[in-house]
Amino acid sequence: MREHCPNCGGLLPEGVSAASVLLPLKAAQVIVLKGSDCRCAPGVQALRDSVFPFGKPQRRPSPPLSTFLQQLYLHTNHCLILSTSLSILPVVRPRVNPHDLNQEDQELLSMFDEAWQYLRETFTPRDIQALSYEVWITRDVDSFEFYLTELLRELFVQRPETLKTSDSVTVKEVLEAGTLDAFIKEVAEKRVLTLAFGGLRSITDYLERQLGLSIDRTTPSFTLSTEAVEVRNIIAHNAGLVSDLFLRRTGRSDLKAGVKFPLSVDYAGSVSKALFNLSLAIDSAFVTHFKLWDAVQVSSDDVRGS
C-alpha cells in the first residue's frame, strides 16, 4: 500500500516509506517523481544522505566505539526528527482520529496537543529547531568524550604498565584497596577522570606524549571536533553565546563575543560526521597499537600508531 508524503501529502512511490521522508519541503530540491503525486521525496532523500554521511566501519569496532556509534546514530535521527517537526506535524496530526485510540492514548494525545500549542504560541520555529541542534551537538560531544574515557579505562585495566607515572603512592593507599587488581582499577579511574576533565585536547595530548600515538591535528575532522567541544561548553555554560574564551580556543575571527553561535542542521550534521571519522581513526590506531581487541586495518589519515 502506497504511503503519503508527510511534507506535501502526495502519494509516495511503491516501496517508499513515509518514515524515510523527514525534512521540510522548503529545504529540499523539488523534483517530480514519475508515477507519484509527491514532488519532494528525491530532494529530501538527497538531503538526508548529506546529513547522514555515516558508512559502516571497515573492521569490527571496539566495544567502546560500538556503544558510541549507536549513540551517534540515535542522537542524529532523534534530533533531526525534532528539528523538522514543525513542518511535519501540521500535516500528520490532522490524520490522527482520537476516536480510533484507546483512553490512555487519547490522554497522551491531549497532553501532546496542549504542549504543541504552547510551543507554537510561545516560540518561533527557529527557536525550536535551535534547541534540537543544541541537544544534538551536546549529546554527540558528551558521548564522544565518554567513548575516549572508556577506551582509556579499558587500556589501563588490561595494560596496567601504561599507568606508569612519577607520582608517588603510599603503602596505605595500596593496602586500603585490598588487592593489587583493585588498586590498579582505582588508579586507572582517577587517571581517566583527570583526563576527562581536560576534554579532547587533554586526552589527545596524553595519547601522543604518554602512549605513543601520533595524531594529525590538521585534519578537518579533528579541527571541527575540537570546535564542537567548545560549542558544547558555551551551550552548557553560557546559554549558547560566544565567549572570549571560545574565540581564543577556536580561532574563529568571523564571530564576536556575546552573539549566539549560529547552529543549523548542516553544522550539526557536519559535527556528527567529524566525530564519526575521528572516532574510527582513533579506534583503529588504538586497537592496533595496544592489541586490546582484534585489529583490522581501517584506512584513515587522522591517527596513526607510532
What are the tens digits of pLDDT across the range 130-160?
A: 888 899 999 999 999 888 888 888 888 888 8
What is residue 32's predicted lDDT score, i.e. its pLDDT?
Answer: 38
Number of structural domains (the chain) is 2
pTM confidence score: 0.72
Q: Are residues 70 and 33 in the same domain?
A: no
What is residue 84's predicted lDDT score, i.e. its pLDDT?
Answer: 65
Q: Are residues 155 and 93 in the same domain?
A: yes
Which domain-ending residue is among 11, 33, 51? Answer: 51
Closest C-alpha among 51, 49, 50, 56 to residue 280? 56
Q: Are residues 96 and 150 in the same domain?
A: yes
Q: Average pLDDT for residues 284-291, to the nearest whole number?
A: 83
Highest mean pLDDT (candidates 4-13, 21-30, 79-88, 200-209): 200-209
Cα–Cα distance measured from residue 230 to residue 233, given in angstroms and rounded to the nearest whole number? 5
Q: Average pLDDT for residues 190-213, to the nearest whole number?
A: 81
Q: Are residues 122 and 1 in the same domain?
A: no
Instruction: Give yes or no for a contact between 52 and 76, defined as CB atoms under 8 angstroms apart.
Output: yes
DSSP 205-251: HHHHHTT-EEE-TTSHHHHHHHHHHHHHHHHHHSTTB--HHHHHHH-
User: What's the N-to-C CA distance of the chain in angstroms?
Assistant: 56
Q: Are residues 143 and 231 in the same domain?
A: yes
Q: Are residues 213 and 124 in the same domain?
A: yes
Residue 240: count other Cβ atoms within 10 Å of its Cβ: 18
Amino acid letter for position 54: F
Q: Are residues 3 and 107 in the same domain?
A: no
Q: Are residues 154 and 86 in the same domain?
A: yes
Res. 258: pLDDT tops 60: yes
Q: Are residues 142 and 239 in the same domain?
A: yes
Cα–Cα distance measured from residue 153 to residue 190, given in angstroms and rounded to the nearest whole number? 10
Q: Are residues 109 and 258 in the same domain?
A: yes
Amino acid letter for position 139: R
Cell triple for 142: 558528551
Q: What range defines the domain where residue 161 resides? A: 53-305
Q: Average pLDDT for residues 169-196, to the nearest whole number?
A: 74
Q: Are residues 28 and 146 in the same domain?
A: no
SS3 305: strand
Q: Are residues 184 and 231 in the same domain?
A: yes
Phi, psi of 112 (to 5 degrees): -60, -45
Residue 186: which pLDDT band, with cuts at 50, 70 and 90?
confident
Cβ-proximal residues to 289 (8 Å cutoff; 6+ apart), any chain: 211, 212, 213, 305, 306
